[in-house]
């Protein structure tokens, strides 16, 4: 090593001889250390300096560190760092760790693999800035530009070290190429703004030639220009530009950035001016501004340039303006001179209006004898202004179009034409596409008398018809007319079956109606004679539109009507208004169960049934498969609890909040009212409780779709809400539901499409059990059989649950990856049997005596309420039930519950708190009274249509011969009201029919008034129910009069199985007077209803009175 022993050099960083000195400490494999002083040139890199002072070449640099004041901590330093950079930071000591005895190959590998010294070079190489990136194959003009930039850098002696060339070098050249390629077509625009491209870069022109590429002339975008400026700014911030040898190149780059930045600022200013102009509510060019007028006296001799104008003025009256456009020279300079020296044989006044922009000035003259202004001048100016162009801003036009497009449902293109006509607006279109649409509208307004043409601007397109095909076209039109007439359901604009399965099928249908050898069009020519799917695409120009037929995709958007729809919607509106009124002390949740997600048997994956809307991501060479049928026993039930953020206005969105999903097995954890209550309490305690027990906000609003486990007038559901009320110590609980078949109004229903994203392209199967268990469950083809076997064999139940656990966990994991409004979906486990029992035990406070079964299990029907005096008293004081709502509220009266659990709301708030009112019709029965008019008043459900109306059905009239007692075969339970509805069939039920009814009952498909089976089902038309009933209708009389099948007696009014016995005195008395006395339950009997009777007994040929 070359050593410098002078002690006077310690601490010095620069000598007068131009060298820089450092203390070099070398650590050889941690075994020995050598220290010396080294002399460096300012332009050298650290690697060069270290290599020059190391005699042993058989070493490899492992790490280089430097120490700078004031903290004197070591900093890892790349070997490519220039020495003068270290000196500028005050570095004085260099520490080098080397690997002694490493061969050159290993040395190179160590340097390339080391993360800190990524730019270290081989010790044998001498550092020189003479390397350039590899040239590209010139496949296009941009590659040619890239190579020419490399050539320019080489000529200017600008280069990189071998370590930098593939990193810094490539980055710099790429950045310059992208920037110069972008501004290439715009050099003239830059020059027009006084922006000069530096000479180093000005030669790089005509590479990005839009004419050669046969494209439109590109525009300079502020976003794209900003991106290029940012890239160049990042480029010159690299330490490589600190090298003084490249200072001239750096200055050229800075000039280029400065020029591009100036043009960018110009664009931004223009954009701001344009945006302000568009947003202005006042015209930018007013007719009362920017004008001038002066008097020009007459002369005796008129110059030759003005004689034509002077001659024509003779025919004009005084103060009648003459436009000078046809008289003045076209050249701008000559025109100015001509106007300044205007002289005529009569006195005139010259009026100039300056429109600005490319319109220039409009100049008029009129004859007058007086220099002073007079009324004649005003009339002339008014006449001129009537012909001048008027201009409005976009904000003015949009205000007009927005106002009338919403109320009149008129197309914006027509409204724009109306606006231009009414205001004489001459503003240009906002873009080329709008200009083309406006031109077509204007053309149709002038040339057409049919306003319908506005809705299809392609109607008259096409080519002359081929006469040989005329018979085919005529027959096709007849066929289309017949289909439109025959389809009975075309009373609405909806159709339920396509005209034909395909175009080939349509051609074959028409061909069969024609004589033998009649010519037929090709498939493509037939298609082009239909209407286009989208009339606003370029492809639509090829369609003739002769036949009003087009391709369409079936949309599942039809909604079943119900007579209570308006009533339920009004209830929901008031429900939301009350939630907003007490929003600060309320929680709003919406509950719903998603349809069952099928789970297949082992090695038989079943699709989830969610129709995908796009393709899924899969590894290359892999395909997504599922079974070609969807039969399944097992399934998962995702239950949604949507915790809604209550807005400040009832008209605002109720679709913001947190989505909670509970995934459970449909076989062993089926949905029930108690299960929902348990899971709801568990979620609300974790999310909305300060103490983990009571809900922080004592008012709870619950909205559901009214399924069997959410129907508010079911006693099981009401008791579950009572459990929630007690468990969370609520001051008031308000539950409401949608009308039947109106579940889309439930906010939680909107979350189902979100869950579908996790179920697209997914097929599921349970894990295989041991062979004996699989054999045992193979024959269990229904839920009833499977649950029965599991109850008898607990071990089988455990194995089935373990078999389902992996697939349920997979579903939870997929749901947890979803987000609603950037908030993740929260996933929970199903409530266990122990948790449900603990929750139901809350109702034991209703028991008078401890012991025995818990109160919840003893309350099976409404008649059981009288068994518990505390519950009976609580119902009378705190309970309000309606067809579509259910409410529980604390009171201020001394009662057994409110004494122990007084209201938590402030006294003044609780005093103003009242029941949610029932929807009430106004005086003329044309609508419902608003919430503000009925809140705090006593209301009833008398205006609910299903309460006062009876139904009839055309289907029942058609099936009248079958809807008799002799054809009674079974009954089905309504999933909403729980009443039994008779199933009729002309023959004895087969095994397949019985399984079909079991499946319908298990899947909770049936509700009162709906068909038993969908169209197309193999037993549709064979298995029938009466459709002229609803949930308020009593039990059918044929239920009690079945000739072949006999059923257990149930209450005629509500379907309760607990009925008043025949030993009752009232029943005995009625049976002595009537031959038929329908069963009645204690609840209905105690409410004042009398048993339904029929066939009064006759005494001596006369009926008893």
Rounded to whole angstroms, how far apart are CA atoms 864 and 874?
Answer: 14
Determine which helix (DSSP H) or strand (DSSP E) holds 170, and give its type and residue range.
helix 170-183
Residue 461 inside a domain? The answer is no
Residue 731 inside a domain? The answer is yes
Determine the average pLDDT of the residues in 388-405. 71
359 and 377 assigned to the same domain: yes
What's the token pair of residue 1032? 């308020």
411 and 301 assigned to the same domain: no
52 and 78 assigned to the same domain: yes
Residue 172 confidence (pLDDT): 92
247 and 297 assigned to the same domain: no
242 and 340 assigned to the same domain: no
What's the token pair of residue 896? 């057994």
Q: Domain of residue 743: give its range.
A: 565-765+805-833+859-887
Residue 553 inside a domain? The answer is no
Strand 322-323 to 93-100 pairing: unpaired
Determine which helix (DSSP H) or strand (DSSP E) holds 178, and give its type and residue range.
helix 170-183
Rounded to whole angstroms, how far apart are CA atoms 174 and 234?
Answer: 13
107 and 176 assigned to the same domain: no
Residue 945 inside a domain? The answer is no
Residue 1062 inside a domain? The answer is yes
500 and 598 assigned to the same domain: no
810 and 693 assigned to the same domain: yes
Helix pair angle (673-688, 715-727), 10° resolution: 20
Residue 36 scores a pLDDT above 60: yes
Where is pLDDT greater, at 869 or 984? Answer: 984
Q: Kindly report, residue by residue over 722-744, the tens digit of the pLDDT.
A: 999 999 999 999 999 998 878 88
Determine the average pLDDT of the residues in 34-47. 79
Dihedral of the CA atoms 860, 864, 867, 871 (nearest 10)? 90
Here the CATH number for the domain that contains residue 815 is 3.30.420
Cis peptide before 763 (omega within 30 of 0): no
729 and 863 assigned to the same domain: yes
Secondary structure E strands in 628-673: 634-644, 657-665
What's the token pair of residue 32? 């020995």
- Confidence label for 451 from pLDDT (cuts 50, 70 and 90): very low
User: Per DSSP, what are the bridge partners of residue 75?
Assistant: 66
Residue 661 scores a pLDDT above 90: yes
Q: Kindly report, residue by residue over 399-419, the tens digit of the pLDDT.
A: 777 777 666 767 777 777 777
Q: Kindly report, residue by residue over 236-254, the tens digit of the pLDDT.
A: 888 788 788 888 888 899 9
Phi, psi of 119 (to 5 degrees): -110, 15
Rounded to whole angstroms, how far apart are CA atoms 937 and 929?
Answer: 12
Contacts of residue 377, defined as CB under 8 A and 6 or more positions apart, other chains included, come to 293, 319, 349, 368
Determine the average pLDDT of the residues in 557-571. 79
Q: From 365, 387, 409, give the residue that closes a domain.
A: 387
Residue 247 inside a domain? The answer is yes
599 and 738 assigned to the same domain: yes
Q: Which of 325, 51, 259 is nearest to 161 (CA)?
A: 51
Residue 630 confidence (pLDDT): 61
- Confidence label for 26 from pLDDT (cuts 50, 70 and 90): confident
Q: From 369, 387, 405, give the residue that closes a domain.
A: 387
Question: What is the residue-wise DSSP string for 514-547?
Answer: S-TT-----HHHHHHTS--S-TTSGGGGG----S
- Confidence label for 625 from pLDDT (cuts 50, 70 and 90): low
Count of domains forming the chain: 7
Q: From 387, 416, 442, give the residue that closes a domain.
A: 387
pLDDT, the chain, mean: 79
Rounded to whole angstroms, how far apart are CA atoms 40 and 15?
Answer: 11
Q: Which of 1068, 1103, 1099, 1100 is nearest to 1091 (CA)?
A: 1068
Cα 688 from chain centroid?
Answer: 27
Percent of the chain topping pLDDT 90? 18
Q: Where are the alpha helices (DSSP H) in 237-391?
A: 247-279, 307-313, 332-340, 375-387
What's the token pair of residue 64? 């280089």
What's the token pair of residue 698? 């004592």
Residue 136 inside a domain? The answer is no
579 and 699 assigned to the same domain: yes
Q: Kindly report, residue by residue over 470-498, the tens digit of the pLDDT.
A: 888 888 888 877 765 544 444 445 554 56
Rounded to whole angstroms, how far apart are CA atoms 847 and 856?
Answer: 10
Residue 910 inside a domain? The answer is no
What's the token pair of residue 406? 């919403």
645 and 753 assigned to the same domain: yes
Q: Which of 1101, 1105, 1100, 1056 is nearest to 1078 (CA)?
A: 1056
């Amino acid at each position: 090593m070359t050593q410098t022993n002078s002690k006077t050099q310690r601490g010095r960083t620069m000598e007068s001889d131009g060298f820089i000195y450092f203390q070099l400490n070398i650590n050889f494999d941690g075994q020995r250390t050598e220290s010396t002083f080294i002399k460096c040139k300012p332009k050298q890199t650290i690697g060069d300096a270290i290599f020059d002072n190391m005699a042993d070449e058989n070493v490899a640099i492992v790490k280089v560190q430097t120490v700078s004041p004031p903290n004197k901590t070591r900093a890892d330093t790349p070997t490519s760092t220039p020495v003068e950079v270290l000196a500028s930071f005050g570095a004085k000591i260099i520490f080098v760790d080397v690997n002694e005895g490493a061969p050159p190959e290993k040395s190179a590998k160590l340097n390339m693999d080391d993360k800190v010294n990524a730019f270290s070079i081989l010790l044998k190489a001498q550092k020189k800035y003479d390397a350039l990136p590899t040239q590209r194959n010139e496949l296009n003009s941009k590659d040619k530009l890239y190579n020419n930039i490399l050539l320019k850098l080489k000529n200017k002696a600008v280069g990189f070290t071998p370590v930098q060339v593939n990193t810094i070098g490539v980055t710099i050249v790429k950045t310059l190429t992208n920037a110069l390629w972008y501004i290439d077509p715009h050099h003239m625009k830059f020059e027009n703004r006084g922006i000069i491209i530096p000479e180093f870069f000005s030669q790089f022109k005509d590479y990005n030639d839009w004419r050669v590429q046969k494209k439109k002339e590109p525009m300079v975008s502020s976003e794209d220009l900003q991106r290029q400026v940012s890239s160049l700014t990042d480029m010159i911030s690299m330490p490589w530009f600190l090298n003084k040898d490249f200072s001239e190149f750096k200055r050229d780059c800075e000039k280029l950035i400065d020029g591009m930045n100036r043009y960018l600022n110009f664009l931004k200013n223009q954009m701001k001016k344009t945006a302000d102009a568009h947003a202005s509510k006042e015209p930018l060019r007013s007719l009362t501004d920017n004008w001038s007028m002066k008097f020009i006296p007459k002369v005796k001799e008129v110059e030759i340039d003005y004689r034509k104008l002077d001659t024509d003025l003779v025919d004009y009256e005084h103060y009648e303006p003459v436009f000078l456009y046809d008289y003045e020279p076209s050249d701008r300079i000559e025109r100015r001179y001509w106007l300044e020296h205007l002289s005529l044989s009569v006195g005139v006044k010259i009026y100039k209006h300056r429109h600005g922009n490319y319109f220039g000035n409009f100049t008029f003259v009129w004859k007058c004898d007086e220099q002073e202004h007079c009324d004649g001048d005003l009339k002339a100016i008014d006449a001129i202004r009537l012909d001048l162009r008027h201009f409005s801003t976009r904000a003015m036009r949009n205000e007009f179009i927005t106002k009338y497009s919403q109320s009149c449902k008129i197309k914006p293109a027509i409204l724009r034409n109306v606006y231009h006509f009414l205001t004489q607006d001459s503003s240009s279109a906002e873009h080329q596409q709008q200009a083309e649409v406006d031109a077509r509208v204007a053309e149709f307004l002038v040339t057409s008398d049919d306003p319908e043409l506005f809705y299809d601007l392609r109607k008259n397109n096409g080519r002359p018809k081929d006469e040989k095909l005329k018979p085919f076209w005529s027959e096709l039109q007849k066929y289309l007319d017949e289909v439109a007439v025959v389809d009975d359901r075309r009373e609405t604009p909806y159709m339920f079956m396509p005209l034909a399965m395909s175009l080939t099928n349509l051609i074959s249908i028409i061909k069969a109606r024609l004589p033998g050898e009649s010519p037929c069009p090709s498939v493509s020519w037939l298609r082009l004679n239909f209407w286009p799917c989208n009339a606003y695409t370029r492809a639509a120009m090829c369609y003739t539109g002769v036949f009003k037929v087009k391709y369409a995709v079936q949309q599942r958007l039809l909604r079943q009507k119900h007579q209570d729809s308006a009533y339920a919607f009004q209830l929901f509106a008031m429900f939301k208004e009350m939630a907003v009124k007490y929003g600060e002390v309320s929680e709003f949740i919406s509950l719903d169960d998603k349809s069952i997600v099928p789970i297949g048997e082992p090695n038989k994956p079943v699709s989830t049934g969610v129709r995908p809307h796009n393709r899924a991501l899969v590894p290359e060479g892999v395909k997504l498969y599922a079974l070609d049928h969807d039969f399944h026993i097992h399934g998962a039930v995702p239950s949604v609890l949507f915790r809604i953020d209550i807005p400040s206005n009832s008209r605002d969105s109720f679709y913001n909040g947190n989505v909670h999903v509970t995934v459970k097995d449909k076989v062993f954890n089926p949905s029930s009212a108690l299960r929902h209550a348990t899971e709801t309490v568990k979620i609300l305690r974790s999310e909305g409780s300060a103490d983990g027990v009571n809900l922080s906000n004592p008012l709870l609003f619950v909205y559901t779709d009214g399924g069997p486990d959410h129907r508010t007038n079911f006693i099981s559901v009401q008791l579950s809400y009572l459990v929630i009320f007690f468990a969370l110590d609520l001051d008031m609980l308000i539950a409401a539901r949608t009308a039947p078949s109106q579940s889309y109004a439930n906010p939680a229903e909107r979350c189902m499409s979100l869950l579908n994203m996790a179920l697209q392209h997914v097929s599921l199967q349970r894990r295989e059990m041991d062979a004996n268990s699989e054999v045992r469950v193979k024959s269990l083809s229904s839920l009833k059989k499977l649950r029965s076997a599991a109850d008898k064999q607990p071990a089988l139940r455990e194995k089935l649950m373990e078999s389902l656990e992996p697939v349920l966990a997979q579903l939870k994991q997929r749901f947890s990856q979803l987000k609603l409004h950037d908030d993740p979906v929260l996933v929970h486990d199903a409530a266990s049997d122990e948790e449900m029992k603990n929750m139901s035990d809350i109702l034991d406070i209703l028991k008078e005596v401890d012991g025995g079964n818990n109160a919840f299990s003893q309350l099976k029907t409404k008649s059981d309420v009288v068994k518990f005096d505390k519950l009976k008293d609580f119902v009378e004081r705190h309970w309000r039930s309606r067809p579509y709502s259910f409410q529980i509220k604390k009171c201020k009266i001394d009662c057994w519950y409110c004494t122990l659990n007084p209201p938590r709301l402030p006294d003044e708030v609780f005093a103003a708190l009242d029941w949610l009112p029932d929807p009430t019709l106004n005086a003329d029965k044309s609508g419902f009274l608003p919430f503000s008019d009925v809140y705090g008043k006593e209301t009833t459900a008398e205006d609910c249509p299903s309460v006062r109306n009876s139904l009839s059905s055309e289907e029942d009239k058609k099936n009248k011969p079958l809807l008799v007692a002799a054809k009674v075969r079974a009954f089905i339970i309504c999933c909403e009201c729980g009443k039994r509805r008779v199933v009729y069939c002309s023959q004895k039920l087969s095994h397949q029919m019985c399984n079909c009814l079991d499946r319908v009952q298990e899947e909770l498909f049936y509700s009162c008034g709906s068909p038993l089976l969908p169209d197309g089902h193999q037993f549709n038309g064979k298995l029938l129910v009466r459709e002229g009933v609803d949930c308020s209708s009593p039990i059918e009389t044929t239920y009690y009069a079945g000739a072949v099948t006999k059923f257990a007696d149930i209450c005629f009014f509500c379907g309760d199985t607990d009925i008043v016995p025949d030993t009752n005195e009232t029943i005995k008395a009625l049976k002595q007077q009537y031959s038929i006395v329908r069963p009645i339950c204690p609840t209905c009997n105690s409410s004042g209803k009398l048993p339904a009777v029929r066939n009064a007994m006759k005494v001596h040929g006369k009926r008893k009175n």
